[in-house]
Amino acid sequence: MLLLKDLPVYSSQYIGIKDILICGTRVEAIADKISIDGIDKLKTLYFDSKRHFAVPGFVDGHVHLIGGGGEGGFSTRTREGTPEEFACCGTTAVVGMLGTDSITRDHISLLAKARAFREWGLGAWVLTGSYRYPIKTITGDLAKDIVLIPEVIGVGEVAVSDHRGSNISGAELQRLAMDTRVAAMLAGKKGIVVCHMGNAPERMKPLFKAVENGSLPPKHFIPTHISRNDKLLEEGIKWVKENDGFIDLTAGKNTSSIIMNLRAELGNLNRISVSSDGLGSLPKFDEDGKLIEITAAPVDGLLRVFKELLQKGLSVEEAIKPVCSVPATALGLNRFGYGKIEKGYSASLLVFNTENLNLELVLANGKIVVQKGTLADQR
């Protein structure tokens, strides 16, 4: 049991200066004052309400847990990730997936990695499939993967309008998403299809085609890398306005500025998420499609974007949306207690220093995993 005292809490809206009682992996109570009299074995942490504030742990919906890459040969494969590196930058929930390479990397290894993250304390889920279509799965059937494997919450990342994909059509994408949706209904999940958006001229045309007859709710698609180029971003804005759909930005140098512009354009950030693409490859190709450079994506993108948004004058309530509450909703992880600090939700939260925005405490499912920037003892 753990008691946090005198913390300004954003969940994700500001709810005041509160005490938070944590029992096991869940938030048991949030109140103005919680008495500790008569409670044995209770650890208490005290905070300065003028110098600290708490937000839910970040939700990273696009991570290559077992590495990615390989577009330039075997030597360009990127490394696997560790839960420690994600925890150190405030990420307490991740969704792992395969990308270009579903030959030398497989879903069983990905699932095992996600379970290792869970054993360590983070929330972790995976997607079946990869860039290729028809998709590869664990059981041989995407519906069985989603229904029978708790960690599988959808399909992805399926390459759309990209030279490394399978040129999937709107009709094929619709069929894939409808199978995902029905399987998720049976499993009590949301069911999402993460679409890797490439540079090809078709851009988001297959997604618009997949939902045009009204039989498939657009909420089941998450087009990612949406700020890859200006024309693709324009179509992403149209996707939000016309379909009330979600779009996902990959954290980069200009992401916070793009988010500020999107907020001005759309009026809010209720359908905008940010993911790191952590440990995936960042390839650069010439005009002929030849690989000229490849690097691995960092895992701290959400933390950097959150801080930059605050520094640009955005409120904590707004800044937390694209890195926590929106991805939790878009991915359906709110069903598992992520995206808010609330009674019954996962005790996964972050405490920041108001003055310098340093991350001073990370709780992951009730465990103190980072304290003042140092990994806490896990014994």
Q: State residue 12 phi and psi, 5-degree precision.
A: -75, -10
Q: State residue 80 phi and psi, 5-degree precision.
A: -75, 160
Gap between the Cα atoms of 59 and 313, Å rounded: 22
Instruction: Judge whether 225 is annotated as a binding position.
Output: yes
- Pseudo-torsion of CA 82, 354, 267, 236, nearest 10°? -20
Gap between the Cα atoms of 72 and 65, Å rounded: 20
Contact 338, 345 (CB under 8 A): yes
Instruction: Judge whether 163 is annotated as a binding position.
Output: no
Query: Which member of 277, 286, 300, 377 is catalytic?
Result: 277
Instruction: Judge whether 92 is annotated as a binding position.
Output: no
Tell me whether residue 141 is one of the annotated catalytic residues.
no
Instruction: Judge whether 248 is annotated as a binding position.
Output: no
Count of CB atoms within 10 A of residue 293's CB? 11
Instruction: Judge whether 220 is annotated as a binding position.
Output: no
Residue 333 carries which side chain, given as an amino acid letter? L
Instruction: Judge whether 196 is annotated as a binding position.
Output: yes
Instruction: Judge whether 164 is annotated as a binding position.
Output: yes
Instruction: Judge whether 70 is annotated as a binding position.
Output: yes
Instruction: Judge whether 100 is annotated as a binding position.
Output: yes
Gap between the Cα atoms of 300 and 204, Å rounded: 28
Gap between the Cα atoms of 197 and 277, Å rounded: 13
Looking at beta carbons, which pairs linking 308-317 to residues 24 or more positions away fall under 8 Å? 308/255, 308/256, 309/256, 309/259, 309/260, 310/357, 311/357, 312/256, 312/257, 312/260, 314/260, 314/263, 316/10, 316/14, 316/53, 316/55, 317/10, 317/12, 317/13, 317/14
- DSSP three-state, residue 232: helix
Contact 316, 14 (CB under 8 A): yes
Cis peptide before 71 (omega within 30 of 0): no
- DSSP three-state, residue 118: helix
Query: Which residues are marked as active site?
Result: 277
Q: Which residues are annotated as a binding site?
A: 62, 64, 69-71, 100, 131, 164, 196, 225, 228, 277, 281
Q: Which residues are annotated as a binding site for substrate?
A: 69-71, 100, 131, 164, 228, 281
Q: Which residues are annotated as a binding site for Zn(2+)?
A: 62, 64, 196, 225, 277
